[in-house]
Structure 1
Amino acid sequence: MLTSAFFLLIMLVGVPIGACLCLAGIVYILNSGDTVLFQSFPVQMFGGVDSYSLIAIPLFILIGEIMNGGGITKRLVDLALAFIGSVKGGLAYVNILANMLVSSIIGSATAQVAIMSQIMVPEMEKQGYDKTFAAGITVYGGMLGPIIPPSVMFVVYSVLAQVAVGDMLIAGIIPGVVLTVLFFIVIACMGLVYNYPRTEKRTIRQRLHTVLTACPTLLIPIVIVGSILGGFANPTEAAAVGAVAAVLVGRYVTKEFRFAMIPQILLKSAIYSAVVLFLVAAAAVFSWLLIYGKVPQATAAWIQTVAKDPIAFLLLVNLILLVIGTVIDGIPGLIMTVPILLPIATEIYGIDPRHFGVVVVINLVLGLMTPPVGLSFFVASAVTGAKPGKMFIVTLPFFLICCAALVLLSLFPSLSLALLK
């Protein structure tokens, strides 16, 4: 109880979550009186990041930075616009489709929201859309970032759960596509009510020119996802090749990437990577102490009194994680919950760890769009000036359809596992 109270207190006053995990671990050891555990503290931290799979994280982050600096994002938006055509609410569809394409490169919800808000919201405002709606739909489009590969959250989950990174990345493809289709359905229904403007008409020649200009940018996700699916490379190797592809496309196709950008890009990538990897190291200590304190066993005993079958368990987990996700960011949420819930899911209820990972990641990402924190809404607000609370209300149908998608994924594991068979 003392450790939990201390952890909540320092987290609420704004101490970074990685430091919270380490400090709570120190308090637990002191409270237990078994100070010999301090000898294993640094060993557990080092062991948490001593994994070849984790090299993929800085490489995926590097790809996103190169893509942003090389003007590749704008080309993908133009490509989405060429595919959609002149339909009612066309730019809303383009927003989601462009986010889906960009997701296959960036892999971070908040980073994607920040980038796409700068591109899509001003354009949607010019076409007559309400700024709040435009910012809100960009936030939900950004939700696809950690689901469609590559995904930093899936890599972190893979390390925590000791499952193949490639399997987790592949498991996110169908759920990502399902969410995209559901978002399209919501836009179509809302378009009937609010009479969204049509996209500007383009001739066949204009569309063809846009496609031919933008298609080379698809080389990056094709290299990353294709090499993993085809068995030619593991995720770490695919990320390295993807980074090279991003440089080549940005330098010789879009011609906006300059080699002078490399030092700044590497610095930004290193800073974000260090933050993520320190969280993983802190998670190793946290998980070790949870097991030592027999927390998973106590939690399992309680859950078994409430959930009698795997579906009931997953629905309960959805509820728990949605509450956790409202106040804690995605990766820290993974770090805090996976060591406790995963053994229960696999050993007691027989749930496939890859399926469980998809449900957990989507749930925690949805927390980024849920009050009282709703981090992605605040990111979009900082970029566009729209009010976070109003964004949530205006885009409430998207939140409800995400909840429905989570129930659907919980009931039908094949949606996550189909491509793995």
Structure 2
Amino acid sequence: MLTTFFFLAIMFLGVPIGICLCLSGMFYIWDTNNAVLFQSFPMQMFGGVDSYGLIAIPLFILIGEIMNSGGITRRLVALSMAFIGSVKGGLAYVNILANMLVSSIIGSATAQVAIMSQVMVPEMVKQGYDKTFAAGVTVYGGMLGPIIPPSVMFVVYSVLAQVAVGDMLIAGILPGILLTTLFFVVIACMGWIYEYPRSERKTLRERAKTVLVASPTLLIPVVIVGSILGGLANPTEAAAVGAVASVLVGRYVTREFRFSQMPQMLVRSGIYSAIVLFLVAAAAVFSWILIFGKVPQATAAWIQTVAHDPVSFMLLTNVILLVIGTVIDGIPGLIMTVPILLPVATDLYHIDPRHFGVVVVVNLVLGLMSPPVGLSFFVAAAVTGAKPGRMFIVTLPFFLICCAALVLLSIFPSLSLALIK
């Protein structure tokens, strides 16, 4: 109990979550008078990152860097516009579809929101959309980043849950498509009510030209996702091939990538990767302490008094994770909750860990769009100047449809597992 209070106290003081996890582990060892456990502390941290699958993280991050500097994002947006055509609320559809295509390369919600806010919001405002609505739609489109492969959060979950990285990445495809479809439905309903402007009408020849010019950029997600689905490469190998493909497309197709930019990209990718991997290492220590202190067993005993079947357990988990996700970012949220809840889900309720992982990730990502913090709204606000609170209110239907999607994913495991062999 003292360790819990210590953890919450230093976290609310603003100590970085990775440091909080390590210090809490040390405090528990000191509080329980088990100084001999300090000898295992470094080994537990090293063991947490001693995983081949984690190599995919810096590679996926590097792909996003190359794609952004190589002009690939703009071409994917143009491709989306060619597909959507002149319909009411067309640019809102384009926003979601472009986010879906970009998701298959970036894999990070906040990074995607930052990039797409710069690309989509000014264009939507120019066409007559309210800036707050445009920024809010971009935020929910960015939600697809950690769900559609590649996904850094799924890689981290795979390591925490000891499941195949490839299975987790594939498990995110159908939920990503489901969310995209539901977002389209919301835009159609809101467009009918608020009379959203139509996108610019283009001739069939202009659309064909756009598709011809922009289609080579699809090589990157096809290489990454296709090689995993086809069994030709594991996620780490697919990420390496995807990085090479992004360089080739950016250099010889879009002709905007410069090799002189690579050192800065590698530095930025290295810094972000180091942050993520340190969190994973700290999570290993935290999980070890939780198991040693029999926290999962105590949690299981309490949950059994509330949830009597797998569905009620999943719905209870949704509520718990949504509350946690409103104040804690996605990866730290995974690190704090998976070691406690996963053993309960698999051992007591016999829930497939891959299905559970999808629900956990979608839930924590939704927390990025939920008050009181709503990190993604603040990222969009910093780029666009829109107000975060009003952004949430204007796009409330998207939040509600996400909650409905979470319920569907919780009740029907096939929505996550159908594509896994």
TM-score (norm: length of structure 2): 1.00
Structure 2 Cα separation of the partners of residues 15 and 217 of structure 1: 41
Q: Secondary structure at the match of 1:420?
A: coil
Matched, 1:278 2:278: yes
Name the residue aligned to 1:404.
404
Q: Secondary structure at the match of 1:102?
A: helix
- 2:136 partner amino acid: G
Structure 2 Cα separation of the partners of residues 2 and 391 of structure 1: 39
Structure 2 Cα separation of the partners of residues 399 and 136 of structure 1: 10
Matched, 1:221 2:221: yes
Deviation at 1:220, TM superposition (A): 0.3
Q: Secondary structure at the match of 1:419?
A: coil
1:211-237, Cα deviation, whole Å (9 max, x unpaired): 000000000000000000000000000
1:110-129, Cα deviation, whole Å (9 max, x unpaired): 00000000000000000000
- 2:382 partner amino acid: A
Structure 2 Cα separation of the partners of residues 328 and 264 of structure 1: 29
Name the residue aligned to 1:109.
109
Deviation at 1:203, TM superposition (A): 0.6
1:313-358, Cα deviation, whole Å (9 max, x unpaired): 0000000000000000000000000000001000100000000000
Name the residue aligned to 2:373.
373
Name the residue aligned to 2:168.
168
3-12 or 194-203, which moves further after superposition? 3-12
Name the residue aligned to 1:262.
262
Q: Which runs of 4+ in 1 moved over 6 A?
A: none
1:8-407 → structure 2 map (5 Å cutoff): 8-407=8-407
Q: Secondary structure at the match of 2:419?
A: helix
1:334-389, Cα deviation, whole Å (9 max, x unpaired): 00000000010001000000000000000000000000000000000000000000
Structure 2 Cα separation of the partners of residues 3 and 382 of structure 1: 36
1:23-60, Cα deviation, whole Å (9 max, x unpaired): 11111111000110000000000000000000000000
Deviation at 1:5, TM superposition (A): 1.0
Q: Secondary structure at the match of 1:21?
A: helix
Structure 1 Cα separation of the partners of residues 281 and 408 of structure 2: 33
Deviation at 1:6, TM superposition (A): 1.2
Structure 2 Cα separation of the partners of residues 219 and 356 of structure 1: 31
Structure 2 Cα separation of the partners of residues 374 and 302 of structure 1: 29
Structure 2 Cα separation of the partners of residues 147 and 398 of structure 1: 16
- 1:239 partner amino acid: A
- 1:130 partner amino acid: D
Structure 2 Cα separation of the partners of residues 343 and 298 of structure 1: 11
Name the residue aligned to 2:415.
415
Deviation at 1:202, TM superposition (A): 0.4
- 1:397 partner amino acid: P
In the comparison of the two structures, how many residue pairs are matched? 421
Q: % of aligned pairs identical?
A: 83
Structure 1 stretches of 5 or more lacking a match?
A: none
- 2:102 partner amino acid: V
Deviation at 1:394, TM superposition (A): 0.3
Structure 1 Cα separation of the partners of residues 211 and 127 of structure 2: 22
Structure 2 stretches of 5 or more lacking a match?
A: none
Structure 2 Cα separation of the partners of residues 387 and 32 of structure 1: 47
Structure 2 Cα separation of the partners of residues 72 and 10 of structure 1: 42
Deviation at 1:192, TM superposition (A): 0.7
TM-score (norm: length of structure 1): 1.00
Deviation at 1:9, TM superposition (A): 1.1
Structure 2 Cα separation of the partners of residues 372 and 111 of structure 1: 20
Structure 2 Cα separation of the partners of residues 203 and 10 of structure 1: 60
- 1:345 partner amino acid: A
- 2:167 partner amino acid: D
- 2:312 partner amino acid: A
- 2:385 partner amino acid: G
Deviation at 1:277, TM superposition (A): 0.2
- 1:222 partner amino acid: V
Deviation at 1:14, TM superposition (A): 1.0
- 1:288 partner amino acid: W
Structure 2 Cα separation of the partners of residues 12 and 131 of structure 1: 33
Q: Secondary structure at the match of 1:299?
A: helix
Q: Secondary structure at the match of 1:231?
A: coil
1:389-415, Cα deviation, whole Å (9 max, x unpaired): 000000000000000000001111000
Structure 2 Cα separation of the partners of residues 126 and 310 of structure 1: 48
Structure 1 Cα separation of the partners of residues 68 and 420 of structure 2: 31
